[in-house]
Amino acid sequence: MRRDYQRGHGRQRGVAVVTALLLTTLAISIVASLFWQQQVQVRSMENQRLQLQTKWIQRGALDWASVILRQPFGNRISLEQIWATPLAETRLDQYIERERIQGENFTASLSGQVFDAMARYNLNNLASGGVRDPVETEVLAKLLTNLRLEARLARPIADFVAAGQPLTVDLANPAAGPQTPRRGTPMPVMRVDDLLAVQGVKPEAVEALRQFVIVLPAEGTKVNVNTAPAEVLAAVLPGCSLSQATTLVEQRKRIPWNDIGQFTSELQCQGDSQVQPKIDITSTFFLVQSRIRLDRAALDAESLVQKGSLASRGGVNVIWTRQN
């Protein structure tokens, strides 16, 4: 009986030890989980703070661009002016107030550049009041050809832009109607990526067009001949070949044009004199691109801004900002 008692007592002690070990393991797991949750919350708060700081830096980049664009550039906008000078990657460590952790390698940098948005072809020029413009459709077809893309895509793209515009009835010709069937509420084209909705337009074509076309919040905008690339110039100038446009680009590097009349008088292209190209030597829309690096956070942003006239004291209005 004594042996049975000792055996039972040993069994109880074993169970007690196992129970104690299980409770200890459970307690350690709970504590570790609490520490892990706290660490995740702290890291989440740090990330939110970093993202907020990058957005403030991005606002600062917009302010920097606004100050530059407020400068008086005279009657022309050209690439040798200060606005076209890129901002090289600049360390901001000394300007960012932040509590440092011992041994932490904290880095902050900003880089950016201003681009002339009116150096690109405005897709909203393809239609007016919901009706496709055949002359502008031909301009887009030439641009597609210059970029080694299919010119046949110009018609469906123009119809797509027209279908996204509110339909305006022509009082002089009430019978005139839209050239594109309409269904439901018009969805305006907001960005170049919207062209992927056009049948036949592939992602490669959109990427090829991205640096040469843009969607501006206005119809009938003009292309700046002092900043436009050769591919765009050859498209908007009637009878102008790509090689002739390249010669114009090289010529303006030496002396930009101060007057659109001077430009047309020096133009050697043999085009239709009845067609008046939408060209100018100044610009009102600009793209501000900025890249911000702040510790683990990174922010690439692009903003479309509009420079006001002298009457509005050269103010700069932000149209939209897109962040990546």
Q: Which two tokens stand for residue 34?
A: 């609490």
Element containing residue 280 per DSSP (H, E): strand 279-280
Q: Determine the 3-state secondary structure of 310 from DSSP.
A: helix
pLDDT computed for residue 24 by the predictor: 82
Cα angle 109, 111, 113; round to 5: 165
Q: 5 phi and psi, to 5 degrees? A: -65, -45
Q: pLDDT tens across 75-97, in order? A: 899 999 999 999 888 787 655 55
Cα angle 228, 229, 235; round to 5: 85
Q: pLDDT tens across 218-270, in order? A: 888 999 999 999 999 999 999 999 999 999 999 999 999 999 988 988 887 87
Checking 262-271 for CB contacts under 8 A at 24+ apart, the result is 263/225, 267/237, 267/240, 268/244, 269/237, 269/238, 269/239, 269/240, 269/241, 269/244, 270/239, 271/237, 271/238, 271/239, 271/240
pLDDT computed for residue 73 by the predictor: 85
Listed as ranges, residues in the chain with pLDDT below 70 are 1-12, 38-51, 93-106, 169-186, 271-273, 309-314
- Of the candidates 223, 283, 229, 285, the residue with the CA atom closest to the CA atom of residue 252: 229
In order of their start, the domains of the chain are 53-96+103-120+220-324 (3.30.1300.30), 121-210 (1.10.40)
pLDDT computed for residue 98 by the predictor: 54
Question: In whole angstroms, what separates CA 162 from the centre of its chain?
Answer: 23
Q: Where are the beta strands (DSSP E) in 102-190?
A: 108-116, 121-122, 127-128, 131-132
Alpha-carbon distance of 30 to 183, in angstroms, equals 59
pLDDT computed for residue 116 by the predictor: 96
Number of H helices, E strands in the chain: 7, 11
pLDDT computed for residue 120 by the predictor: 97
Q: Which two tokens stand for residue 31?
A: 């504590």
Alpha-carbon distance of 204 to 299, in angstroms, equals 25
